Each structure stands twice: as structure tokens, then as C-alpha cells.
Structure 1
Amino acid sequence: MNFHVSKEAAQWFKEEMDLQAGDFVQFYVKLYGGIPTVHPNYSLGISFGKEGTVAIKDEVEGITFYFNDKDEWFLDDYVLNIEAKNEDVEYIFTPK
């Protein structure tokens, strides 16, 4: 698996996005503007719901967090850990 969402971060998403068990949260790649990443000029976006084929996922607190097959390349060389910190979430990219 190329990414992990901590229980605390999953709880943050549940509260912020009013999520229920069985819901899907997609992380997707976008140019500029969004969550900063290790890839120059690329950011992460977040959307609610399932779109495309789930390629990489982490199920936490009943929520499926995922990247679809179009964006799985983004984690080819990195592991992404999503953790709660200071009443927000932090996105930590670590080289494999």
C-alpha cells in the first residue's frame, strides 16, 4: 500500500465532510492550487464519492480513502501518510 490514513485523520475527515460508514473519499492529482506535494507543479485535490476504478485504498473508520487508476502513478516513488495535527490534517510524503 502506498498510503495510510491515521484513525485521527479519518475522524477529522468524518467531522469536516460529514461522512458516514461506507462513504468514499478520493484523492486526485491536479495542476497547481491544492494540497502541496513532493511533485513540482502538482497538488492533491479531494472529492467525495467513488469515481473510476479504485487502485490504491485505505479503509479507516468505515471510510474508503483512495486514488483511482488514473492517479496511482502519483505514489509510485512515495508513501503518503495522512495524519491529524493541530486540528487539521498533514500530508507526509516519504520516498520509498
Structure 2
Amino acid sequence: MAMHMTEEAAKWYQEEMDLDSGDYVHFYVKLYGGIPTAHPNYFLGVSIGKDGEMSHYQNFDGVTFYFSEQDAWFLNQYDLAIKMGQEEAVFEFTPINNDNAK
């Protein structure tokens, strides 16, 4: 039920998307194509801009990376780590053990 982005992944996004302080990067749920996830048939999209109320978010150098309240359900059973792979950011979903979450 958390999102954690590494500083290296944030810097990669900042360079790839030419982001400036004050920008928002919105990760959102979509049905077809995009970043693979732990949810069958659901993918993630990425856009620049603020859309709705933020749920899970992190800020690096003035750039906010977030999920909106509308898509908060997507992380209800998972922790999401966004970190650098060899050439681009990778998304790792770790199931939450509900017995330990109480």
C-alpha cells in the first residue's frame, strides 16, 4: 500500500521527460498497453500534469511523482518500488501479507 521511487529512477524520468521543478508526473491505470503490472489486464500509463487529488506520491527536486485518489485501489494489495533497471525505470510490485498488515 505504498509507492517508493529511488532517486536514480526519479532523475531518469526528469532527464527523459525534460521535467522542471514544479512539474507533476502522474502514474495512472489503463486497460490496454503500457507498463506491465501485478494486476492481470491492467497496465500503467505516465503523463505530465496534475489530475485530481493525489494519493501516493513522492517529491524529488521539486518534481512530484504520484497516483491519484481515483487509482489508489491499484496499490491496495501491493507495495510498488520504482527503480532503475539497466536502461530505464522498472516497476516491482510486492504483495502485502494482509495478516501482517493489521
Q: Answer yes or no: same fold by TM over 0.5.
A: yes
Q: Secondary structure of the residue that 2:21 maps to in structure 1?
A: coil
Decide which moves more: 54-63 or 44-53: 54-63
TM normalised by structure 2 equals 0.90
Number of the residue aligned with 2:36: 36
Number of the residue aligned with 2:26: 26
Residues 49-88 of structure 1 mapped to structure 2, 5 A cutoff: 49-88=49-88
Look up the equivalent residue of 1:66 and give its one-letter code: Y
Greater strand fraction, Structure 1 or Structure 2: 1
Aligned residues: 96
Number of the residue aligned with 1:15: 15
Contact 1:5 1:60 (C-alpha < 8 Å) held by counterparts = no
Greater CA radius of gyration, 1 or 2?
2
Tell me the CA shift for residue 61 of structure 1.
2.8
1:47 and 2:47 aligned = yes
Tell me the CA shift for residue 60 of structure 1.
2.0
Structure 2 CA distance, aligned partners of 1:86 and 1:80?
18
Structure 2 CA distance, aligned partners of 1:92 and 1:86?
14
Contact 1:21 1:62 (C-alpha < 8 Å) held by counterparts = yes
Structure 2 CA distance, aligned partners of 1:80 and 1:32?
20
Tell me the CA shift for residue 91 of structure 1.
0.3
TM normalised by structure 1 equals 0.95
Q: Which runs of 4+ in 1 moved over 3 A?
A: none
Tell me the CA shift for residue 63 of structure 1.
1.2
Please list every run of 5 or more consecutive structure 1 residues that lacks an aligned counterpart in the other structure. none
Deviations 1:4-29 (A, max 9, x none): 11000000000000001111000000
